[in-house]
Amino acid sequence: MKTLLCNCNRTMPLDAAALARTLRQVPGASAEGLETTHTLLCRREAGAFQRAARATAAAGEELLVACTQEQRLFLELNAQTEGAAGVAERPIRFVNLRETGGWSRDAHTATPKFAALIAAAQLPAPDPVATVSYASGGRCLVIGEAEAAERAARLLEDGDGGLEVSVLVTQGHGALAQRHERATQHGRLLRLAGWLGSFEVEWESANPIDLDLCTRCNACLVACPEGAIGLDYQIDLTVCRAHRACVRACDAAGAIDFERAPLRHEGRFDLVLDLRDEAAFTMHQPPQGYAHPGHDERALAAAVLRLRGLRGAFDKPRFLRYQGRLCAHSRNERIGCSACIEVCSARALRSDATRKGRTRSEAAGGVIVEPHLCVGCGACTTVCPSGAMAYAYPGTADQGRRLRVQLDAYARAGGRDAALLVHSEGAGQRLLDELGRAARVDAGVHGVPARVLPLAVWHTASVGLDLWLAAIAQGASQVWVLATDEEAPEYRDALREQMAVAQAILAGLGYAGRHLRLLEARDARDLAALDQALRAPAAQGVAKAAAFAVQADKRATLELALEHLLAQTAARAHAAPLPDALALPAAGAPFGAVQVAQDKCTLCMSCVGACPAAALLDNAERPQLRFVEKNCVQCGLCAATCPEDAITLVPRLLLAGAGRARRDQRVLAEMEPWRCVRCGKPFGTLRGVQTMIARLAGHAAFAGARAERLKMCGDCRVVDLHSGSDEVRITDL
């Protein structure tokens, strides 16, 4: 890969030689082109870009331009350059050095950061994933008051590419247009569900006037003595005195019928423009193809433009990969962990704990994912304790590779105390651009510090505990997440909970300082506070960075990170002895133990069958409940399933034996087996059989001498049933 550097009219210091030396040391990175720094690559030196575009195309290589300011211009130049590769064939890549550090007050020390950003930008693109398709024919339903709905309908219909619009009048008594230009209904909205290209609408019309039959001849308005009929062509039944003059006036059209029962209507639409006061979808992320601008004219204009562009076929990545066998939501129709469902701001996830009509593996998890509603925020993957919900594009392993390359290049260039700043590609990037520009023109603004490594992601909630701890283990001093108005309140709460868990682990292992922070900024008004927050002091990191690769499996990555962090703690001279276990916050903790009340447990092993992570185990040799703490995800299914209410969850991280005790099996409960009163073979447990006898004491099938069968093993019970003198009647069973 060839990289083109530009110092943007000498406004930022770039040490091309140092960058080239560092990139040569980074496995897989390329230093080609880094020996030269251009001054005006987008203007006077545009020819250098064109020559590089031709050369890389001829060599079958890729081209990286260290400028995002003129990205559009470079793409146009590439299209006009003879011999350059087409963007579809070989996309040109871009990386921002200017606003993310080149214009900051300590830009002269930012060479390690620049090396990290370039090295990460040179990584291969993630493998493509399956897509989710939408097909919109442009059938749009406008819901609202008559005049506003018709005005919006005209905006949606006008000109080339106009939509096919229907109107549902649901409120007020505004006037409909005299001309009947589009399908118009009046009624009460009962249900609106679906997404772009597939909205299902149900409404009820109860007014005597049927707008489908109405010709808008206005004869009813003239005939009505109370003036109960308005230009919305609906009868105000609170004013009408039942003269029925309107019925006679409408005899030919037959649009008015006071005896008509309320009618229910159903329709399917591709798009919905909702002009009512209250939105039909109240979640933070409504379905694509739905717009609710309220009464804001600018918002209405933006919504109209957006909806007019949603005609045709569209694809988006299938962002999530769900593995029901790992899911801790439900087992045997019992509910455990619901973290993903509760955090989803698009309501793309729902619970289905029943097992009807589903395979055993499908029934295991019990979470239904609707990919058409998913917006790819990834919050469900962050809060999922088991890794059943995983982010697919880019995958966790791809994101981990990017983190490791950034931190490795930063360290090789001499950088220290790296702070990873996770931000969105949309509003988050715009804020950093604003901060960079402010630092350029305002001496009182510092800009993004040299030790802060920006990491742009599709959504900030998609990076969670496993990647945070992996980054700390691989040399980062801190991990910060920049939250803007894009993030739903649920996401912010979830990120805070997960950060509290991560911080408790790091503090408990003896790493000083604050390692995790949620930085909240809405727009440019918050730049001063953001500028100050980015200059926070560094926290204590590891002495030696880990070399492990982030795994696709969340729990595997967490184990690798914890093992390295624990080893680094043990290697520190004069380190204080660690406790046997670190207490973790109850909210969001993915680690912990299970406590069993010995006086309640009957060793029925219901908890073993319910455990989705194989943390609870039985023993084929004797009545014994065993536990592997490393596997426990604190889902609570065992506690929900236990018929004796004998189980309590204990969020913690076990450190005894340098963490090895987490992998060992230990006995939580055991008791002597009950022996068959007939053959002496052990089966069940003393408490279990006693409980069974007590609960079935009043049952006719086990009255009198028959109660002895409860004390027999299965084989002897069958023998006694068929050979005994007192047979059990079918009606007794």
Per-residue pLDDT band for 690 (boundaries 50, 70, 90) equals confident
Return the axis-axis angle of helices 111-121 and 16-25, rounded to nearest 10°: 50
Question: Quick check: 383 pLDDT over 80?
Answer: yes
**Looking up tokens 């550097």, which residue turns up?**
5
What is the model's pLDDT at position 218?
Answer: 94
Question: Quick check: 290 pLDDT over 70?
Answer: yes
Question: Quick check: 648 pLDDT over 80?
Answer: yes
Is residue 497 helix, strand or coil? Answer: helix
Is residue 30 helix, strand or coil? Answer: coil
pLDDT digits (tens, 9 = 90+) for 337-368: 999 999 999 999 999 876 554 554 444 678 99
- Distance between CA atoms of 384 and 361, rounded to whole angstroms? 18
- Distance between CA atoms of 609 and 640, rounded to whole angstroms? 12
Tokens of 590: 């993915």
Return the axis-axis angle of helices 396-412 and 554-571, rounded to nearest 10°: 30
Q: Give the DSSP H/E element, type plus range, for residue 500.
A: helix 489-508
Is residue 653 helix, strand or coil? Answer: strand
What is the residue-wise DSSP string for 46-113? HHHHHHHHHHHHHHT--EEES-STTHHHHHHHHHHSTTPPPTTTSPPEE---IIIIITSTTGGG-HHH
- Beta-strand runs (E) in 476-563: 478-483, 516-520
724 against 524, higher pLDDT: 524
Average pLDDT over residues 178-183: 87
End-to-end CA distance of the chain: 78
- Distance between CA atoms of 506 and 540, rounded to whole angstroms? 10
pLDDT digits (tens, 9 = 90+) for 215-267: 999 999 999 999 999 898 999 988 998 888 999 999 989 999 998 899 899 99
What is the model's pLDDT at position 732?
Answer: 43
What is the residue-wise DSSP string for 374-422? -----HHHHH-SSSSEEEBTTBHHHHHHHHHHHHHHHHHTT--S-EEEE
Average pLDDT over residues 653-675: 87
CB contact at 8 A, 509 and 566: yes
Question: Quick check: 730 pLDDT over 50?
Answer: no
What is the residue-wise DSSP string for 453-471? EEEEES-GGGS-HHHHHHH
Per-residue pLDDT band for 731 (boundaries 50, 70, 90) equals very low
pLDDT above 90 coverage of the chain, percent: 74
- Distance between CA atoms of 45 and 643, rounded to whole angstroms? 76
What is the model's pLDDT at position 241?
Answer: 86
Question: Quick check: 571 pLDDT over 60?
Answer: yes
pLDDT above 70 coverage of the chain, percent: 97
What is the dihedral sign for C-alpha 510, 515, 516, 520? Answer: positive
Q: Give the DSSP H/E element, type plus range, for residue 340.
A: helix 339-343
User: How crowded is the C-beta side of 96, counted as CA atoms within 13 Å?
Assistant: 21
The closest of 402, 249, 271, 386 to 323, measured between CA atoms, is: 386
pLDDT digits (tens, 9 = 90+) for 96-153: 999 999 999 999 999 999 999 999 999 999 988 999 999 999 999 999 999 999 999 9
Tokens of 649: 């969850």
What is the model's pLDDT at position 272?
Answer: 98
pLDDT digits (tens, 9 = 90+) for 50-102: 999 999 999 999 999 999 999 999 999 999 999 998 877 788 999 999 999 99
Give the count of beta carbons closer than 10 Å to the beta carbon of residue 148.
18
Q: How far is CA 642 from CA 332, 609, 625, 636, in A?
A: 12, 10, 13, 10
Q: For 158-162, 325-329, 332-336, 436-440, which range has the lowest pLDDT when averaged over its residues?
A: 158-162
Lateral strand order in the sheet of 198-205: 188-195, 198-205, 263-269
Per-residue pLDDT band for 733 (boundaries 50, 70, 90) equals very low
Beta bridge partners of 628: 665
Mean pLDDT, rounded, of the chain? 91
What letter does residue 537 receive in the DSSP assignment? Answer: P
Residues 6+ apart with CB under 8 A from 258: 208, 242, 244, 247
Average pLDDT over residues 584-605: 93
707 against 466, higher pLDDT: 466
By DSSP bridging, strand 616-617 and strand 624-628 are antiparallel
Residues 6+ apart with CB under 8 A from 689: 674, 710, 711
Tokens of 77: 């130049």
